[in-house]
């Protein structure tokens, strides 16, 4: 269904308003939707809601869609990213009318008299078109996930076959299909969506965890940092670390995600902070399993030695590759060991491993990724050569380059 020229004109004219009031609109939207449909709390990350991340991410997407309503292909990357997460969460066509109802009500509530009938009608029509884009894309994703060898639809039971402490705060869990069937393959860098039923919790808890091992095994491995800074931020990770043991069952949907290793001959640098190391391990293992001749640099920053996961394993993988290097350091200034650099990753560190044709993968806390992206741009790397993954809702880490 194509939008009329008049509708497109109205929607584009409201984009500046959404840029200003978008987060307020989406906050009202989520509040009212959950009041009337609390069952949907089984599908949403409680932490991202409480921290306002989900609200801001939706506001950004709605604004981008409004601004590009006549050229939606401009936001295809963002739509694909969200659709992958929806497929992992189990979002289905029947959920979209609910979302549309409360999104439109929120626009009307926040904008008040400024939300004229013409504007509301235009947004109702536009939401229908955008929702159908998601529904069609996600339908193909569901079919693909189920049709592949070892694939499945929805959530499936997995047995924990091993639990390995990788550092003081990161533990790996090995998952084997409870039905003992083959598991679906995946691309290095993708994630599993885990659904946990935690004692004394009213709603199920869902989280995305990167698969931290190369494709090809008969198990999945996820490596989880135990979050202790606040509750409920650490609710699921604490449950996994403290209450889930070998032999226990957890649920997972099929692998998903757009942050994947590009398998070509270009030089590649992996730059991670903290638990951001997990997708990098999967990618490095993949390159090792193929005995890649690519120029590979692995750069990692951690707070201190005790929380640095996979250190020995990385050394082994790098040593077995013909053109690989490993650089690491710790930010705790009183740490006894500082590895190859002291403090945070600097431009000088990156200049040793990155050239203008290097493909860089960046994962870690958002401030870390913004810092790294800025440094990469300062040394002349184009945005098109930077790949990054967020463990939470989408946002842009590629800040503007400094003026000369």
Catalytic-labelled residue, pool 63, 102, 127, 138? 138
Residue 138 catalytic?
yes
Q: What token pair was written down for 315?
A: 């050394």
Catalytic-labelled residue, pool 30, 96, 186, 220? 96
Question: Could you give the CA distance from residue 375 to residue 397 in angstroms, rounded to a whole number?
Answer: 12
Q: Kindly state the DSSP code that residue 52 receives in the 8-state scheme.
A: T
Query: 94 near 46, Cβ under 8 Å?
Result: no
Distance of CA 94 to the CA centre of its chain: 24
Q: Which residues of 4-43 are buried (b: 16+ CB within 10 A; e: fewer)?
A: eeebbebbeebbebbbebbbebbbbbbebbeeeeeebbeb
Query: 90 near 154, Cβ under 8 Å?
Result: yes
Query: 56 near 391, Cβ under 8 Å?
Result: no
Roughly what angle, to the nearest 10 degrees, separates helices 5-36 and 117-147?
Answer: 70
Question: Could you give the CA distance from residue 12 to residue 64 in angstroms, rounded to a whole number?
Answer: 10
Name the residues annotated as catalytic. Answer: 96, 138
């Amino acid at each position: 269904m194509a939008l009329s020229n008049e509708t497109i004109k109205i929607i584009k004219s409201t984009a500046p308003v959404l840029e200003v009031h978008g987060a307020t609109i989406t906050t009202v939207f989520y509040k009212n939707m959950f009041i009337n449909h609390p069952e949907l709390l089984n599908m949403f990350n409680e932490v991202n809601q409480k921290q306002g991340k989900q609200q801001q991410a939706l506001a950004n997407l709605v604004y981008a869609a409004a601004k590009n309503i006549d050229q939606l292909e401009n936001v295809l990357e963002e739509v694909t990213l969200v659709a992958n997460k929806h497929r992992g969460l189990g979002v289905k066509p029947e959920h979209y009318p609910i979302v549309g109802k409360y999104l439109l009500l929120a626009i009307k509530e926040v904008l008040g008299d400024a939300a004229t009938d013409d504007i509301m009608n235009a947004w109702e029509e536009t939401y229908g078109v955008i929702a159908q884009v998601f529904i069609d894309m996600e339908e193909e994703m569901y079919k693909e996930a189920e049709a592949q060898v070892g694939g499945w639809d929805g959530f499936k039971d997995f047995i924990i076959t091993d639990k390995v402490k990788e550092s003081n705060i990161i533990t790996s869990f090995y998952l084997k299909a409870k039905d003992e069937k083959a598991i679906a393959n995946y691309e290095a860098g993708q994630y599993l969506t885990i659904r946990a039923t935690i004692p004394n919790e009213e709603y199920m808890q869902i989280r995305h965890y990167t698969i931290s091992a190369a494709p090809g095994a008969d198990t999945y491995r996820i490596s989880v940092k135990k979050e202790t800074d606040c509750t409920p931020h650490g609710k699921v990770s604490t449950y996994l670390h403290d209450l889930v043991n070998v032999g226990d069952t957890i649920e997972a949907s099929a692998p998903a995600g757009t942050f994947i290793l590009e398998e070509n001959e270009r030089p590649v640098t992996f730059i991670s902070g903290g638990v951001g190391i997990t997708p990098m391990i999967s990618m490095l293992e993949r390159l090792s399993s193929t005995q890649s001749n690519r120029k590979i640099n692995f750069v990692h920053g951690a707070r201190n030695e005790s929380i640095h996961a996979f250190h020995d394993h990385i050394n082994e993988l790098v040593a077995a590759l013909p053109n690989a290097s490993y650089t690491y350091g710790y930010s705790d200034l009183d740490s006894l060991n500082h590895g190859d650099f002291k403090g945070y990753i600097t431009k000088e560190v990156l200049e040793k491993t990155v050239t203008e044709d290097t493909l860089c993968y960046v994962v870690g806390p958002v401030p870390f990724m913004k810092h790294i992206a800025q440094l990469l741009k300062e040394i002349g790397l184009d945005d098109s050569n930077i790949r990054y993954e967020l463990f939470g809702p989408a946002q842009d880490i590629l800040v503007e380059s400094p003026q000369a």
